[in-house]
Chains A and B, each alone.
Chain A
Amino acid sequence: MLTYLIRRLILVLPVAFGVSVICFLLVQIAPGDPLTAIMPVDATAEEQDAMRAAYGLDKPLPVQYAIWIGNLVQGDMGKSIASGRPVAGEVFGAVQNSLVLALSAAVIAFPIGIFLGFLAGYFRDTWIDRVVTAISIAGVSVPNYWLGIVLVIIFSVNLGWLPSMGAGPGGSSEWEWNWLHIRHLILPAVTLAVVPIGIVARTVRALAGDILTMDFVQALYAKGMSRADVLRHVARNAAATALSVMGLQLGYLLGGSILIETVFNWPGSGFLLSNAIFQRDLPLLQGTILVLALFFVAMNLIVDVAQAAIDPRIQRT
């Protein structure tokens, strides 16, 4: 297990390096000068050069990368061009809010998805199976930003039960777990949960269906074991795969909540990202993406290791 853990950690390094290169290059592919957004229109050539030197933009690319990565490991992700504040602070504040949203969506999605998937897999080829399959196909097909709008129309505009925007009183920095705030969380979390419900249900259905038809399960029935006991065996066998799918989904929830955060004005990383895009604030864009991607990489690592801990066969591959 320790060898596996170390090997897996070593394998993460090149990926993390690649991620940092892509994030660095994002700024390079952007058309135009990153400074145009903040330079006065009538700036002289000398002023422009001075500004460029101040941001280190006059050096060759590999040097810029080395400086960037050097600062990065010290926790310095540069300054936001628009606000002038350090990127790191802005990103981590926003990521906290995104985490609240992603975890809430996961808490809604995973139990429902697992339950539906089990039902469908156990009652394969019955009407239950067909209903669940229809739900999961609809779940993975729905554009969730549109679903968010529809939910707002129903629950905010027509019924007036829930707020449609923001994270509650105090804005982005004062999240608390009380009803005043949680009311704001319900609609975005439910919206975000729909796609993972579909995916988890689909995965669990396939797993349960496959395992139930396997020889060893037939043998368990033949031994006279009760349905409930057989189900427990099946659940344990499916756990490793189901876990990895859910771990990946949690990563997607965090990195993929951008559109939902925009719909609900949720002050998370996605909201920050869309602001960065419209203000052409490239350091902020770069920093946000880097943090989200590294979080996703870490999530994958945790999933792999957890999976190997549950199912020792995986360590060998």
Chain B
Amino acid sequence: MALAETLPTEPAPAAKPQGYWSGVGARLIRDPLTLFCSAVILGLILAAIFAPWIGLADPYKGSMIARLKPLGTEGHILGTDEQGRDMLARLIYGGRLTLFIGLMPVVFAFFIGSALGIVAGYVGGLTNTIIMRTVDVFFAFPSVLLAIAISGALGAGIVNSLVSLTIVFVPPITRVAEAVTSGVRALDYIDAARATGADAFTVIRVHVIGNVLSPIFVYATSLTSVCMILAAGLSFLGIGVRPPEPEWGLMLNTLRSAIYVNPWLSALPGVMIFITSLCLNLLSDGLRSAMNVRD
């Protein structure tokens, strides 16, 4: 208290305490493109979740006489597929599996990869060598090849797709997490925290995670678009979701037979994949700049 009167010689601090996240929020609000893309993604997710209650036709019910009706047909605003099922309903229902298989592997990989990378980066030494050299081996496979190899070996199915895509995305996230963590590990505030006698787990929990998670998170969001395209691609190849489930990649595959009859109809599921993947990429870019993360 004796020194309190000497304080005015130092610059007056900002009027209102500002945390990191309120700053991120303020920057996001001022970024219309990112907001728009979040709205599109959110809309697709909500439509997929609430599909049964928004007055759509039955996505599984076909009709032999109403096959491959063009866009704008009465009662089928986006036409019908090769079995006469309503395209609008199938596209919206298709978002359920496509978004699920397209996003969840990145979520799983985010947790697994962050854990591995943070441990490798903080502990260092032999632990680091074992984890990172294993990761290097997976980097020897182009991601498409690895996903198809594992899915191909495991066989078609939703769970198998989730497993193979998670395996594909764990190594890159681990590598980023390790790099960011060893950077933070070298900073003085980690030394200061260790100097209190805190154990490694406490230092990681209080001081490391908060500072490495946002770059890892931003990196993970940049993978969602690739994951979407790959997930739909697996179904397109016939090693993902099985018929008759509506799924964009699978629909794109089954509608290929129709390109001479009703070409633009057959391209519709791909439009959905493209829009989603584009919005995910733009959203990730927006988050990157709002969160001040550099590559």
Residues on A facing B (Cβ under 8 Å): 14-16, 18-19, 21-23, 26-27, 29-31, 137-138, 140-143, 145-147, 149-150, 152-153, 157-158, 206, 251-252, 254-256, 258-259, 262, 273-274, 276-278, 282, 285, 289, 292-293, 296-297, 300
- Residues in A whose Cβ lies below 8 Å from that of B148: 258, 273, 277
- Residues in A whose Cβ lies below 8 Å from that of B143: 256
Contact B237 A256 (CB under 8 A): no
Q: Which residue of A lies closest to B281 (CB)?
A: A141
- Residues in A whose Cβ lies below 8 Å from that of B20: none
Interface size for B (C-beta < 8 A) is 46
Contact A143 B229 (CB under 8 A): yes
Contact A143 B259 (CB under 8 A): no
- A143-B232, A143-B270, A158-B263 known; A18-B152 Cβ under 8 A: no
Q: Could you show 16 A-B contacts with beta carbons less than 8 Å apart? A: A15-B136, A15-B137, A29-B153, A31-B154, A141-B278, A143-B233, A143-B274, A146-B274, A149-B252, A149-B256, A251-B142, A255-B144, A274-B238, A277-B148, A282-B153, A293-B141
Q: Which residue of A lies closest to B238 (CB)?
A: A278
Give the A-B contact count at a CB cut-off of 8 A: 135
- Residues in B whose Cβ lies below 8 Å from that of A18: 133-134, 136-137, 140
Residue among B155, B264, B270 with max Cβ neighbours from chain A (10 Å)? B270
Min CB gap B39→A, angstroms: 17
- Residues in B whose Cβ lies below 8 Å from that of A259: 144, 233, 236-237
Tell me the interface secondary structure of chain B in the complex: helix
Min CB gap A189→B, angstroms: 17
B239 at interface by CB-CB < 8 Å: yes
Residues on B facing A (Cβ under 8 Å): 133-134, 136-138, 140-145, 148-150, 152-155, 225, 229, 232-233, 236-239, 252, 256, 259-260, 263-264, 266-267, 269-271, 273-274, 277-278, 280-282, 285, 295
Contact A143 B144 (CB under 8 A): no
Q: Which residue of B lies closest to A156 (CB)?
A: B259
A259 to B240, CA, bound (A): 13
